[in-house]
Amino acid sequence: MINPTKIKEKENRLAEIDKILLDKNLIKDNKKYGQILKERSGIEELLSLYKRYTEIEKEKQEAQALLEDEEMGDMAASEMEKLRKEFETVEKKIRSRLVKKDPQDEKNAFLEIRAGTGGEESAIFAGDLFRMYQKYCEKKKWKMEIMSSHASDLNGFKEIIVYVKGKDVYFHLKFESGVHRVQRIPVTESGGRIHTSAVSVAVLPQIEEEEVDIDPKDLKIDVFRASGAGGQHVNTTDSAVRITHAPTGIVVSCQDERSQHQNKAKAMQILRARLYEKQQKDIQDKIDSQRKSMIGSGDRSEKIRTYNYPQNRVTDHRINLTLYKLDKIMDGDIDDIVNSLITFHEKEKVDAA
């Protein structure tokens, strides 16, 4: 059942917002004004849902009273089932809106994929995961831009970092962070034995300059000649950039663009995202160092998902979800996994509130 106290809090907040909107100076701040209007719209939608929620409860009671009626019983039973389904849907929507939103959810994101244990097979699977996410982004009509990449010999990647731009990118991708394990017969294996390899994935929200304080004195910037594919220019100019953040030891390199300026700009974007992630993780560790579930914490040390090719099976270990459609999942059909993780996480938040 929905806690009426939480609804009352939202009603009070709506009244507070209406007072804030009377301030003539607010409209001069377009960003803040837009945020307030958006919050108001969200609360109105929630209260409208709750109104329907209470209406359904009354309608269910009325239908319940008619179940024993000889003439109306069958109709009442059918109406009860219809109301039950609508009640569940409305309740789910209300719970979702009562959850405090992550302020980063609407942001674009950096998706980092790195080969782990398993040698060349791990790099091949990193390439497979990149193509899986690429197809998923195409289906969501998101734009993807490669920020940095280090290809392996057999059409894979030792590391690839991409920037994903679109609606609610971080909200949908943030639970992909972790170690992804693959079980299959590698193309490099002549004996036909099944191997287990691992790839790490990190999803970081795009962070604006004002959100993370970076002292230029803490940065060591090196330039060098890029290597690998990309045209003749990579061998003749010092266009590649490596930035080291001295206090944390975080190192970011970019070499995919033709100019040193472009590579430096991309490297700074990635550095800001990594520094923000580190800050958030440090805060999380202090708040709850004993937390068992790693969903949402950004911890990438735990194997979160297994891709078993012989059984056409994918298992997400955090929510005990197993799907026997690996072929479709590797073709970008990961909505079932993404949505299940979002639902599980939101339920955790509601239960903890």
pLDDT at 1 over 90: no
Same domain, 332 and 346: yes
Same domain, 8 and 122: no
Kindly state the percentage of the chain with pLDDT values over 70.
Answer: 90
| DSSP, residue by residue, 132-195 | HHHHHHHHTT-EEEEEEEEE-TTS-EEEEEEEEESTTHHHHHGGG-EEEEEEE--TT-SS---E
pTM for the full model?
0.71
Question: Residue 56 domain-assigned?
Answer: yes
pLDDT band at 291 (very low <50, low <70, confident <90, very high): very low
Same domain, 120 and 258: no
Same domain, 257 and 225: yes
Tens digits of residue pLDDT in 314-339? 999 999 999 999 999 999 999 999 99
Question: Residue 293 domain-assigned?
Answer: no
Question: Residue 290 domain-assigned?
Answer: no
pLDDT at 173 over 60: yes
- What is the rounded average pLDDT of the residues 249-259? 87
Same domain, 197 and 222: no
Within 8 A by CB and 6+ apart from 48, the residues are none
Total structural domains within the chain: 3
Question: Tokens standing for 243?
Answer: 């930035």
Q: Name the more confident of 332 and 38.
A: 332
Q: Report DSSP state, residue 210.
A: G
Same domain, 134 and 58: no
Rg (CA), the chain: 25
Same domain, 125 and 195: yes
pLDDT at 353 over 70: no
Range of the domain at 245: 212-285
Tens digits of residue pLDDT in 157-167? 999 999 999 99
CATH of the domain at 222: 3.30.160.20
Same domain, 134 and 204: yes
Same domain, 88 and 235: no
Same domain, 195 and 234: no
Among 25-29, 128-132, 152-156, 287-291, the range with the most confident prediction by mean pLDDT is 128-132
Contact 341, 318 (CB under 8 A): yes
CA–CA separation, 189 vs 191, rounded Å?
Answer: 6
Contact 320, 311 (CB under 8 A): no
CA–CA separation, 55 vs 51, rounded Å?
Answer: 6
Q: How many CA atoms lie within 13 A of 277 on its CB side?
A: 24
Question: What pLDDT shows up at residue 347?
Answer: 77
Region of poorest pLDDT, from 7-16, 96-105, 121-130: 96-105
Question: Residue 345 domain-assigned?
Answer: yes
Kindly state the percentage of the chain with pLDDT values over 90.
Answer: 53
Same domain, 246 and 330: no
Same domain, 197 and 227: no
Instruction: Answer with the one of 75, 98, 121 that is the final residue of a domain.
Output: 98
Tens digits of residue pLDDT in 185-235? 887 776 678 889 999 999 999 988 878 888 999 999 998 877 654 444 444
